[in-house]
Amino acid sequence: MNEVTIGICGLGTVGGGVLEVLSRNADLITERSHTPLRVVHVSTRYERKDLEAGGITVSRDYRDVIADPGVQILIEAYGGTDHAGDIVRAAIRAGKQVVTANKALIAEQGNELFALAAEHGVSLRFEAAVAGGIPVIKALREGLAANRIEWLAGIINGTGNFILSEMRDRKRQFADVLAEAQALGYAEADPTFDIEGIDAAHKLTIMAAIAFGMPLRFDAVYTEGISTLTPEDLAYADELGYCIKHLGMARQGEQGVELRVHPTLLPMDLLLANVNGVKNAILVEGDAVGPTLYYGAGAGGSATASAVVADSIDLARQLSANQGCTVPPLGVTPAAVRDLPILPMGEVKTAWYLRLTAKDEPGVMSQVSSILGAQGISIEALIQKAAKGGAKQVPVVVITNIASQSNLDRAVASIEALDVIVAPVTRIRVETLDGQDG
C-alpha cells in the first residue's frame, strides 16, 4: 500500500495537536484513508530530537518544508496572516495540497488563495477555520448541498459565550469574568478579537460565502462586541424569557445579504439559547431540510486537530482512491471492517430509575436499600411521598448509582418478593453522557 505524506509548518497548539492525533490514531486513520498518512517533515523553532528519531525531518525554516518534494499535503499551522499567507501561497505554487485552520487568513485572503489553488490544480481546505472540530463546513458544502440556505445563526466564539454564560449564571460583571477567562486560558492576553466579534466575523464570513455561493466579504460584516453588556440586561432578558448570546447571523433576503455579529436576545426554548460555556453551535435553515444544528468544541488544539486531520483524510482518500468510490460505505476499507464482540446486556452498566409500589408501612426503605446494597448498588436520589387520602400504598422512586443489569435484575427480583412491595418494579436506565460539557 502506498502512503500519503504530510508536512506541518508550525508545531504550536494546532500543529502539535495534529501530530498527536495522527500518531495516536494512526491505525484507524490508515483504515479510513485506504493508506497511511505519514508526517515526513515539520518546521518549528524548537529542537525536536524525539521527532527526528522517528524519521521526521525537523527544520527551523518553514520554506524547507514547502520545498520538500516528498511532502504531498502541507498543513499550515503557523498562525497569524503574514507568514501564514506566504506559506499557503508558496505551498500552492509548489503543487501541494494545503490544509489550514487559519480563519483570519481564509476570511481576509481566501478569494485570492482559492483562485491561486484552482490555477495550480490543488485543494485548499479549511474545515478547522470555523467552529474548530464541528464539521460545519462539510455540512454546508456537501451535506446540505441540495438546499437553498435561507439563513444561518451561530454561537461561534467560545470565549464570548463563556463570558456571557458566567455573567448570567453568577450575575458577574463583564470585566471580572474576562479576567477569569484570561487566567483559565480561554481568552487571549489581547481579547479584542474575541470580545469585539472580529473572530466571529471571520467565521461568519466563511460560512456565509459557502452558504450563499458568494465571495468572502469580511469587510462587509457589521460587528458589535459584548463588552458593554451588563448583568442587569442579562437578568431582564431572563425575566422576559430570553437569553443573550453573541450571535453571528447571515441571511439571504430579496434585498441583499445580511452579515452581522452582535449581542442578541434568543427565546430560551431554542436549542441555540441553551448552548453554554465555551461551546459553539450553528443553526442552519435550508429550504428542503428545514433547520439543522451543529454543536461542539469550537477551539482547542485537539478539537482543531480533529478537523485538520479530517481534511487531510479527505485529501488522502482522493489521492489514493482507485476508480469509483473514495469513501468506503462503513468509513473504513472493507478489509478493515472488524466483527467486534457485542457486550451482553447483563454486563451493560448504567444508573437506574426504579419506581416501587409499597404498602404504606414503616421499614420499606430499609429493606429495599439493604437488598440493593447486597448487589453493590447504592441510592443516589429518592422520592418518597406520604400516602394520599386513604391510600394503602405509596410510590417510592429511586435513582441508583451505576450497576450492571445482572446485579440490578437480582436486586429487583428480591425487592419484588418482599411482602411490602405490591406491584412489579418499573425500571428505566439513566445515562449522564459525561463529556458533553467536558
Distance of CA 363 to the CA centre of its chain: 49
CB of 49 to a second copy, least distance (A): 26
* 92 within 8 A of 66, measured Cβ to Cβ: no
Q: Which amino acid is at 272?
A: L
Least separation in angstroms between CB 308 and a second copy: 8
Cβ distance to a second copy smaller for residue 64 or 409: 409
Question: DSSP 3-state assignment of 101?
Answer: coil
d(C-alpha 164, C-alpha 177), whole Å: 9
Taking the C-alpha atoms of residue 266 and residue 242, their distance in angstroms, rounded to an integer, is 5
Give the span between the Cα atoms of 28 and 253, in whole angstroms: 44
Q: Which is nearer to a second copy, 346 or 374 (CB)?
A: 346
Which residue numbers belong to the known binding site for NADPH? 103
Quickly count: other Cβ atoms within 10 Å of residue 299's Cβ. Answer: 21
In this structure, are residues 113 and 93 in contact, taking their beta carbons and an 8 Å threshold? no
CA 71 vs. chain centroid, Å, equals 29
Of the candidates 138, 171, 203, 359, the residue annotated as catalytic is: 203
- Is 203 annotated as catalytic? yes
Q: Are 287 and 147 in contact (CB under 8 A)?
A: yes
- The distance of closest approach from Cβ of residue 157 to a second copy in the complex, given in angstroms and rounded to an integer, is 17
Shortest distance, CB of residue 319 to a second copy, whole angstroms?
A: 10
Residue 178, Cβ density class (10 Å: 0-12 exposed, 13-18 middle, ≥19 buried): buried
Quote the distance between the C-alpha of residue 260 and its chain's center: 23
Binding residue numbers: 9-16, 103, 188
Output DSSP code: residue 254: S
Q: Are 298 and 158 in contact (CB under 8 A)?
A: yes
d(CA 134, CA 192): 24
Q: Are 124 and 279 in contact (CB under 8 A)?
A: no
Q: For residues 244 and 377, which CB has a smaller minimum distance to a second copy in the complex?
A: 244
Known binding site for L-homoserine: residues? 188
**Closer to a second copy by Cβ: residue 374 or 428:** 428
Query: Which among 229, 231, 251, 233 has a CA at the least distance from the CA of 242?
Result: 233
CB of 246 vs a second copy, minimal distance in Å: 11
Report long-range pairs for 82-90 (Cβ below 8 Å, ≥24 apart): 85/109, 85/113, 87/9, 87/62, 88/113, 88/124, 89/113, 89/116, 90/63, 90/66
Give least dist CB 253 to a second copy, A.
Answer: 6
Could you tell me the smallest distance in angstroms from the CB atom of residue 24 to a second copy?
8
Please identify every residue annotated as catalytic: 203
